Amino acid sequence: MTSWLARYFKFDEHGTNLRTEMLAGATTFFTMAYILLVAPSILGETGMDLGSVFVATALSAAIGTFLMGVIANFPLALAPGMGLIAYFAFAVVLGMNVPWQQALGAVFLSGVIFFVLTVTKVREAIINAIPESLKYAVSAGIGLFIAFIGLKNAGIIIASEATFVTFNADLTKKPEVLLTLFGLVVTSVLLVRKVKGAIFIGMAVTAVTGMITGLVDVPSTIFAMPPSMAPTFLKMDVAGALDLGLMTIVFAFLFVDLFDNAGTLVAVANQAGLIKNNKLPRAGRALFTDSIATMLGAVFGTSTVTSYIESSAGVASGGRTGMTSVVTALLFAVSLFFFPLVETLASVAAITSPALIIVGVFMAANLRKIEWDKLSESIPAFLTIILMPLSFSIANGIAAGFVLYPLCMLVAGEGKRVHPIIYVLGVLFVMRFIFLGAI
C-alpha cells in the first residue's frame, strides 16, 4: 500500500514520504478544525438545525478535501468559507429575511456557474480581468466584516442610538465577555509564538476555562453517532434563488469563491514549490474540485465550500502532495462522531468569537498590497472595504468596487487598461442599484 501511494501521489518527484504527508495532513486539520464549531454556531442562528449543519460542514469538507487530493494532487484543504458563512447568515438570511432554503439555492447556483466557468475555461478570463486592487479589497473587507461580527456576538461592541455602535462600557461586569477577551488573548499569544493550530487550541483552552468557571456547560458525553442530516439535506430552493432580486447574491457567492480559490491556490502552491515557469499544473482540476464541493455543500446544507489558506500550515510541515489532503479529509470524517462536544460549545459566543476576530486579522493583511497612493485604485478599493462592515453586506462592497473602478480609471485617462468584463459588470451593478436597491 505504501509503495502504491508513493507512486500515485509521486512522493519521489516532490521529495516527500508517507510519514511527512500524514503529519502535514494532521497539521492542516487541527489548524482549521475551528470551522467545525464556528459554522454550526453561525448558521444555527438562521434557524437551520445545528446537528445537520455540523454533519454537512464536516462531510463537505471531508469529500471536497479528499477529491482535491486524489484528483488534483494538491496539499489543499476545503471547507465552508468563514466570510461567506457570515454573509449567508447575517446579511442574506437575517439581514434581508431570505429563507435559508433560498440562500442554499443561491449557493448551489453559484457552484453550478463556477463549474461551467471552469469547464469552459471562462473562469481564467474573469480572474485575469479583475484588478488586483479589488481582489485585495474584497478579501480585506470580508476580514473587517467577520471581525465586526465576532466583536458584536461577543458583546464587546454594542448598539448605540447616538453613534449606531459603541464600545461596551460594562465590559468588566460581564463574565461571558471577559471569557471572550481571555480566549482572544490566549489565541493571540499562541499565534505570535507561531504555535500550529493556535486558533483550535485557543478555542479548546477557552472552553475548558469556561467549564471550570461554570460559564460553559460540561458535555455529558463526547462521542456519539453523527446526527441526521435530513433537516437540511436537499432542502435548497433553487427556483426561489432564481428570482431577480437574489441573482446579485448568487454572484457575490461566486465572486468571493473565485477570489478565495485563485488566491489561496497560488499562495499554497508557491509555498510548496509547485509552480513551474509561472504556471500551476492541474489548476483546472483544483478549481473543478472546488465547484463540485460547493454544490455538494449546498445539497448537504451548508454555505459555500472554498480553499483554506490554513493549508499553508500543512505545507510548512512538509506536505507536498494530495496525500496531505487525504489525511486531512479522513480526520474531518472522524470528527463526525464528536457532535456532543460541538452541540455543547457551539452556542457559546465566547468560544467562537475570538476565532472570527483573528481570521479577520489574517484577511485584513491584504490592505498592504493596495496602491494607496494611486487614487484611481485606492478609492474603489476603500469603498469596497468600508461598505462591507458598515452595510453588513459583502455584496454591497463588491458592487461599489465594480461600479467605481472603471469610472475612476476612465477619469484618470486609463480606461483602456480596464477589461471589457469590468465595464459590463459595472453597468449591471448600477442597474441592480437603480431597480432593486441595496443588496
Q: What are the pLDDT digits (tens) for 87-121?
A: 889 888 988 888 999 999 999 998 898 888 888 87
The model's pTM: 0.80
Residue 194 included in any domain:
no
The pLDDT of residue 267 is 64
Q: What is the number of domains present in the chain?
A: 1
Integer CA distances (angstroms), 193 to 187, 197, 309, 315, in order = 10, 11, 19, 18
Q: Considering only CA atoms, which of 312, 285, 306, 284 is closest in space to residue 294?
A: 306
| Mean pLDDT rounded to a whole number for the chain | 85
Q: Which domain holds residue 284?
A: 13-131+208-346+366-436
Grid coordinates 486524489 are at which residue?
Answer: 70
> Does 176 reside within a domain?
no
Asked whether the beta carbons of 62 and 33 are under 8 A apart, the reply is no
Locus of grid cell 449606531: 164
pLDDT grade, residue 328 (50/70/90)? very high
| Higher pLDDT among residues 278 and 264, named by residue | 264
Q: Which residue has the higher pLDDT, 236 or 2?
A: 236
Identify the DSSP state of 225. P
Does residue 226 form part of some domain?
Answer: yes
Instruction: Indicate the residue type of 282.
Output: R
Confidence band (pLDDT; 50, 70, 90) for 326?
Answer: very high
Q: With a cut of 60, say whether residue 403 has pLDDT above it.
A: yes
> What residues form DSSP beta bridges with 307?
78
Does any domain span residue 102?
A: yes
Per DSSP (E only), the strands in 208-321 are: 305-307
- Rg of the chain over all Cα atoms, to the nearest angstrom: 21
CA–CA distance, 44 with 432 (Å, rounded to integer): 30
pLDDT in tens, 70-88: 998 888 899 998 878 988 8
pLDDT of residue 140: 86
Model confidence pLDDT, tens digit, residues 357-380: 888 888 888 899 899 999 999 999
Q: Confidence class of residue 275 from pLDDT cuts 50, 70 and 90?
A: low
The pLDDT value recorded for residue 270 is 67
Q: What type of residue is 16? A: T
pLDDT of residue 247: 77
Residue at 140 is within a domain: no
Burial class (CB in 10 A: 0-12, 13-18, 19+), 266: middle
Q: Which helix (H) or strand (E) holds 115?
A: helix 100-119
The model's confidence at residue 65, banded by pLDDT at 50, 70 and 90, is very high
Helix H or strand E segment including 166: strand 164-167
Residue type, 13: E
What mean pLDDT do residues 55-65 have?
95
pLDDT band at 412 (very low <50, low <70, confident <90, very high): very high
Check whether 46 has a pLDDT greater than 70: yes
Please name every residue paired with 80 in a beta bridge, in sequence order, or none if there are none: 305
The 3-state DSSP class for residue 279 equals strand
Residues in the chain: 439
Cross-strand pairs, 166: 158
pLDDT of residue 256: 75
Domain membership of residue 173 (yes or no) is no
Q: How far apart are CA 391 and CA 396, in angstroms?
A: 7
pLDDT for the residue numbered 375: 94
Q: Is the pLDDT of residue 317 over 80?
A: no
Q: State mean pLDDT over 117-131.
A: 76
Q: Across-strand partners of 279?
A: 276
Q: How confident is the model at residue 244 (pLDDT cuts 50, 70, 90)?
A: low
Q: HSE (CB half, 13 Å, CA atoms) of 366?
A: 25
Q: Between 118 and 414, where is the model more confident?
A: 414
- Please give the share of the chain, as a percent, with pLDDT higher than 70: 93
For strands 78-80 and 164-167, give the pairing.
unpaired
Confidence bin at 130 (pLDDT 50/70/90)? confident
